[in-house]
Amino acid sequence: MAKKKPAATPAKKTRVKLSPRDEKTMQALVSLADGVVDAATKRRDPYVDIPSRTLSNVKYSPRKGILEMGNGKNRRQLFDLSQAKAYMRTMLVASGCKRLLDEGKTTSLRGLFYMLKHTIEGSKENTFDDQNECDTIIEDAEVLLTSIREELHLYAENRGAMVGAITFTDKGDTIDCSRMGSGGYAIPSIVEPDVIVLDRKRCDAQFILHVEKGTVWQRFNEDRFWEKHNCILTHGSGQPPRGVRRMLHRLHNELKLPLYCVLDNDPWGYYIYSVIKQGSINLAFESQRMAIPEAKYLGLRSIDYDRCDLSEGVKIALTDTDRKRAKQVAKYPWFEKKRPWQAEIQRMLKNDFKLEVESLISKDISYVTETYVPERLEAKDWLD
Amino acid sequence: MPATKSARRSDATKMAAAQKEISVSEFFAKNRHLLGFDNPRKALLTTVKEAVDNSLDACEEAGILPEIWVHIEPTAAGKYKVGIQDNGPGILKKQIPLIFGKLLYGSKFHRLRQSRGQQGIGISAAGMYGVQTTGKPVKIVSKVSKGKPAHYYEIQIDTKRNEPKILNGKGDGEDIPAGEKGLAYIEKHGIEWVPQDHGTRVTIELEAKFVRGRGSVDEYLEQTAIANPHVTLHYLDPESYQYDYTRSAEALPPEPKEIKPHPYGTELGRLAAMMEESEAMSVSEFFRTKFSRVTPAIARKLCESAKVSVRGSVHKVDRPQVEKLFEAIQSTKISPPATDCICPIGEDLILKGLHHVVPGEFYAAATRPPAVYRGNPFVVEVGLAYGGTAPTQNVTRDLLNDLLDETDTRTVRQFLIHTFNGLGGDSADKIVKESGLKTRQAPSGLKPKERDKLLAAMKNVNVSEGQQMNILRYANRVPLQFQQSACAVTQTVIGTNWRGYGLTQSRGSMPKGPVSLMVHIASVWVPFTSESKEAIASYPEIQKEIRLGLQAVGRKLGMYLRRRLKVRQQSDRREVFQRYLKEVASAVSVINAAEEKELYEQLLNVARKRTAEADTKLDDRGRKVEEDPSQLNLGDNVLIVNPAHHEAAINRVVTAPEEAEEDAEA
């Protein structure tokens, strides 16, 4: 077995004292590396078993109402021509995270990509050519080490924003979300309790309204919807990133705020709702920390074209992919047994057009904030 | 306009004065494009082609291994003299004028038998074209056996009457005596003749244009050599380059049998005509004797369903009854025609022929079992040559020096084209440009430094880049060189998916790669799209057979290419592992501070063990799998060679034997 020599690297850089959480991550990293040394000394093939992140390895738990990852694993071997590079990259990502942990710093996904990207000695090949290649390996590392991104000291770009009647602290700074101007508070990628501390007493909001896009969110913020209805207003720039989903999860569970979603009436909108509610296939291992099974779908509904008496011009014809996607969504186990949802999707297919939230502007600029959402909330008219 | 009753310009009587019969020769003299004399370039090719095809047919019918001499020489601007001689059986004196001076005179039209010629138009039309464009008569020398004199004729075709006009010997031709005296005579009259016991030589002077490349005489003769490995060809081109294609097979192809027509392939009009021409016999007998595959029972069935008397005379059958009979034929099940009348080239000889002429590293061939279209049996054969590196890239400095010293070409470009087979003008231009030499530089005068540059350019220029598949089409062993896109062969090649066989191909176009594909269709009656015999008509039955043949060779090519790729991957494999191992070792040592070098060595050992295992992989039967593609067992009809040792790839100037002996002594 390769002898271990006393680690020389941290000699210059002061080694930060590891938090108990980092301690656990570090252990996972070291045992991964030890596995390689062990295999090498025994002249065996080094490999790692990575829990599979595919639809086939995802189970819907009707009891908990969330997606859970199954036990399926993919073996990644070093001495397999098609996997050798992926194996090497996995080790590189692990070594990068170890360095971050050692120095007590965090970096963006792109930052790690640049940390690890270099030309392999004796060739013209790069370790990584593209950030996407690095990002998937990071997700592999998360499930492999059972440490989420935050624990690996990585974060993604901030996406999504919030305003509302709530105050909390972010890395010690007090954030008053009712005084955020027109831009709102940018929801960070890491919203774990060691960064953001929520306080039940400093929250006056009664519910959360999540909208799909920044443009719609602007409309609500400009009309000061959150002030009138005493709520928190968030958006996720389309498919909400993990930071936003985790934030919603914490607000919902720790402050007991119900969540309502206003999304486009198209298969994509349905899927966003599905991800918020049950979790995504790719990140099923995070469902536990992110999914909000009690989330409600407020709109837009496929009956809204008639119900709100919209004009012909707002229709957007469904494409073939839309139709295919809609049928897939309808077959998801968590939609399959819900009659209202089946009716909703069938209606959209029958309409053969989709509606964006912005289409309500054709009625009146503030129709969505002054009429549409208040009426739905009043009538408790939503899909579950 | 005033409406007068005398508006008619002419009347029936007046018009009748201008109405007269048109002779076949007049018709074709005006419409010579129908026979392949559209332009001077094509006229030259058609002339050579018709003469060579006739010679080959004659030799094979007589059972003689063919040897053919082709000589083209320029006489004046735009005029060439073409002489073609064979070692065939010769022609009887009284037949010579008819064969060469009368259109539609021949032995092949009325029989159903696999042969190159079909109608008996070709060679006499070539002669007619020659007379029309130069005024010079066609000269024919023919000798039947050693002791007998050779017959010598100078003939012009009388286009009005479609009759030959003999110019020499007071309209009777002349005899050249055998032996020395004859040779003196030949010398005196300026006729060329390679001394032989028997054979025929035809000389035609015509307006023509000599080119190289696609659709040229060079290409035709080369392709003929591929499909006829039993033929020896000597070709002296107008620039006095001598090409010799020696035979690689010493046996003649078996003699094709003549068959009677099959009822399915007979059209209504033809059936009626056959009945009329027939000697007196019963209807049943007519069907049994004039057609193949008609048994008494089938003849009776035909008559019954057409309500025609079985025993009645064939001449008593009237037109409506003929139609009924025709319908009865279509609805009655008759067994397909005998197929032993077709003589394919055979997989072995296709491989030999291809290997002899086309440079490459992999050859495969497939002969399909006989099939039938419209009552005519036919066989499809496919050969494929996959060329490795271009011949220019396999040349050593010494060999290049020798070649440069030997050559008598005037420019480097010419030297490249003539020395390296299959190297086109475009590729030669690329090489010359890359080498930085002047275009007009003489190859023998190159200085050593310039030779180095030329060699480097030859090695660097990838001549097969973007190369399209080269299709060689044959019908009854005759190459088809024109109307490629109209031909069933080309359409089927394009319609076949080659991507699965390791070639690149964009949708609806020819596959790319250094591939030559030969497709041969042998039949008693090849369905051409026109009289000039340039493209094969797309019968679904024919297309299906072609496709199956293409797939057969394609699969073998695919196996070969995949195996070749695999070997390459195997050698890449170790390298790939080694490359990544260093990264893995250093990453691991960052994490757990393991000794990086030691870990790397250990991993390297595992890698060696692993790849060694892969090298000696066992197949299902427990034998060692051969990873060398040239050892791959793909069946009998495949040939794999080392392209570096290909003799056909480089043309060397043949030095006279005496000189060679002197060299040896020195």
Strand duo A154-155 + B163-166: pairing:
unpaired
Protein fold of B391-460:
Helicase, Ruva Protein; domain 3 (1.10.8)
Nearest to B129 by CA among B216, B240, B54, B43: B43
**Interface with chain B: mutation pick from A26, A31, A78, highest number of B CBs within 10 Å:** A78
Domain-terminating residue out of A155, A174, A206 = A155
Instruction: Specify if A59 maps to a domain.
Output: yes
Domain membership flag for residue A331: yes
CATH number at residue A117: 1.10.10.10
Residue B543 marked ligand-binding: no
CB B494 within 8 A of CB B509: yes
Q: Tell me which residue of B207, B140, B202 sits closest to B176, measured CA to CA.
A: B140
Q: Which residues of chain A have pLDDT under 50?
A: 1, 3-12
Chain A CB contacts of B605 below 8 Å: 43
Share of chain B above pLDDT 70, in %: 85
Q: How far is A72 from chain B (nearest CA, A)?
A: 25
Of B573, B598, B605, the CB nearest to A3: B598
* Assigned domain for A4 exists: no
Structure tokens at B229: 């490995």
Residue B619 counted as an annotated binding residue: no
Name the domain boundary from A133, A155, A177: A155
Distance CA B278, CA B284 (A): 13
* Least confident residue range of B54-63, B108-117, B655-664: B655-664
Local structure of B564: helix, strand or coil? helix
* A3 domain-assigned: no
CA B357 to chain centre: 12
Residues A118 and A252 in one domain: no
Q: Are A149 and A173 members of one domain?
A: no
For residues A307 and A213, membership in a common domain is answered with yes
List Cβ neighbours of B190 (8 Å cut-off, separation of 6 or more): none
> In angstroms, rounded to a whole number, what is the distance separating the alpha carbons of residues B319 and B325?
10
Task: Name A196's Cβ contacts closer than 8 Å, sequence gap at least 6.
Answer: A168, A169, A170, A188, A247, A250
Give the model's pLDDT for residue B664.
37
Chain A residues within an 8 Å CB radius of B603 = 40, 46, 78
Neighbour count for residue B538 (Cβ, 10 Å): 17
pLDDT, residue B344, reads 85
For the ranges A121-135, A304-318, B30-44, B114-128, the lowest mean pLDDT is seen at B114-128
Do A147 and A197 belong to one domain?
no
Asked if residue B618 has pLDDT above 80, the reply is no
Looking at residue A8, its pLDDT comes to 45
Torsion of CA B637, B643, B649, B654, to 10 degrees: -100
What residues contact A129, with CB distance under 8 A and at least 6 apart? none
8 A C-beta contact, residue B167 and residue B121:
no
Q: How far apart are CA B515 and CA B382, in angstroms?
A: 13
Q: What is the pLDDT of residue B421?
A: 62
* Chain B interface, best mutation among A47, A91, A134, by max B CB count within 10 A: A91
pLDDT of residue B389: 56
A150 within a domain of the structure (yes/no): yes
Residues from chain B contacting residue A99 (CB–CB below 8 Å): 590
Residue A10: per-residue pLDDT: 44
> For B651-666, how does the pLDDT look when each residue is reduced to its tens digit (9 = 90+)?
554 433 333 333 333 3
Q: Which of A5, A36, A45 shows the shortest C-beta gap to B588? A: A36
A306 in a domain, yes or no?
yes
For chains A and B, CB pairs below 8 A equal: 100
Q: How far is CA B325 from CA B205, B306, B322, in A?
A: 51, 5, 5
Domain of A169 in residue numbering reads as: 161-379
The answer to the question of whether B107 is labelled as a binding residue is yes
Q: Which residue shows structure tokens 């030949």?
A: B186
Q: In sequence order, what are the residues at sequence separation of 6 or more whose Cβ sits closer than 8 angstroms to the Cβ of residue B269?
A: none
How many beta carbons lie within 10 A of that of residue B192, not counting itself?
Answer: 15
Q: What is the pTM assigned to this prediction?
A: 0.55
Residues A29 and A176 in one domain: no
* A355 and A208 both lie in a single domain: yes
For residue A10, give how far its alpha carbon lies from the nearest alpha carbon of chain B (Å).
Answer: 11
Contact B598 A79 (CB under 8 A): no
Quick: pLDDT tens for B219-258.
888 888 888 889 999 999 888 888 888 888 888 888 777 7
Angle between helices B40-62 and B217-227 (to 10 degrees): 20
Q: What is the pLDDT of residues B634-648, one digit of tens each?
A: 666 777 776 555 554
B21 half-sphere exposure, CB direction, 13 A CA radius: 7
Could you tell me if residue A2 is inside a domain? no
For B342-387+464-643, CATH gives: 3.30.230.10
* The pLDDT value given to residue B274: 85
| Total residues belonging to chain B | 666
In B, residues 407-446, which contact A (CB 8 Å cutoff)? none
A129 is in an annotated binding site: no
- Beta carbons of A4 and B595 less than 8 Å apart: yes
Helix (H, G, I), strand (E, B) or coil at B363: strand
Give the Cα separation of A376 and A378 in Å (integer).
5
If you search the block for the tokens 């080309």, which residue do you land on?
B490
User: What phi and psi values does residue A37 have, to the nearest 5 degrees?
Assistant: -60, -40
B377 has which bridge partners? B372
Q: Looking at residue A299, what is its pLDDT?
A: 81
Q: In this structure, what are the phi and psi dihedrals at residue B304, rounded to the nearest 5 degrees?
A: -65, -45
Same domain, A29 and A84: yes
Residues A188 and A334 in one domain: yes
CATH number listed for the domain at residues B24-245: 3.30.565.10
Counting the structural domains of chain A, the total is 2
Identify whether residues A149 and A193 lie together within a single domain: no
Q: What is the pLDDT of residue B131?
A: 86
Rounded CA-CA distance B415/B439 in Å is 11
Using an 8 Å CB-CB cutoff, list chain A residues near B587. 33, 88, 91-92, 94-95
> With the CA atoms of A339, A344, A350 and A353 taken in that order, what torsion angle do they form, in degrees rounded to the nearest 10?
-160
Distance from CA of B265 to the nearest CA of A (A): 50
> Is residue B546's pLDDT more than 90?
yes
DSSP B22-44: --HHHHHHHTGGGGT-SSHHHHH
According to CATH, the topology of domain B263-331 is: Helicase, Ruva Protein; domain 3 (1.10.8)
* Contact between A137 and A94 (Cβ < 8 Å): no
Among A132, A155, A178, the domain boundary falls at A155
Binning pLDDT at 50, 70 and 90, where does residue B454 land? Answer: confident
Does A345 reside within a domain? yes
Domain of residue A264, CATH code: 3.40.1360.10
For A81, the closest of B576, B582, B590 (CB atoms) is B576
Q: Identify the CA nearest to B644 among candidates B389, B331, B332.
A: B389
Distance of alpha carbon B98 from alpha carbon A194, whole angstroms: 109
B345: phi then psi, degrees, rounded to nearest 5: -70, -40
Query: Which H or E element spans position B277?
Result: helix B268-277
User: Per the structure block, which two tokens stand in for A284?
Assistant: 């099923």
Write the residue in A29, A40, A127 that is nearest to B599 by C-beta: A40
Q: CB B592 to CB A120 under 8 A?
A: no
The pLDDT value given to residue A166: 92
Residue B505 Cα, gap to closest chain A Cα (Å): 26
Tell me the nearest-neighbour CA distance from B644 into chain A, angstroms.
30
Residue B6: half-sphere exposure toward Cβ, Cα within 13 Å: 0
B294-330 confidence digits (pLDDT tens): 888 888 888 888 888 888 888 888 888 888 888 888 8
User: Do the chains contact at A37 and B582, CB–CB below 8 Å?
Assistant: no
B602 and chain A in contact, CB less than 8 A? yes
Contacts of A41 in chain B (CB under 8 A): 602
Q: Could you read off the pLDDT of B572-608 as tens digits, one per residue? A: 667 777 778 888 888 888 888 888 888 888 888 888 7
Average pLDDT over residues B16-23: 79
Chain B residues with CB-CB distance to A92 below 8 A: 583, 587
Is A79's CB within 8 Å of B593's CB?
no
How far apart CA B478 and CA A158 sit, in angstroms, is 74
Among A60, A114, A185, A297, the active-site one is: A114
Preferred mutation among B578, B581, B588, B613 to probe A, highest tally of A CBs within 10 A: B588
A114 is catalytic: yes
Are the folds of B24-245 and B391-460 the same? Answer: no
Q: In chain A, what's the furthest Cα-to-Cα distance? A: 76
Distance, in Å, from the CA atom of B135 to the CA atom of B509, rounded to the nearest integer, reads: 45
Q: Is the sign of the CA dihedral B312, B315, B316, B319 positive or negative?
A: positive
Number of helices and strands (H, E) in chain A?
A: 15, 17
Subunit contact A2:B598, Cβ cutoff 8 A = yes
Q: Do A7 and B593 touch (CB under 8 A)?
A: yes
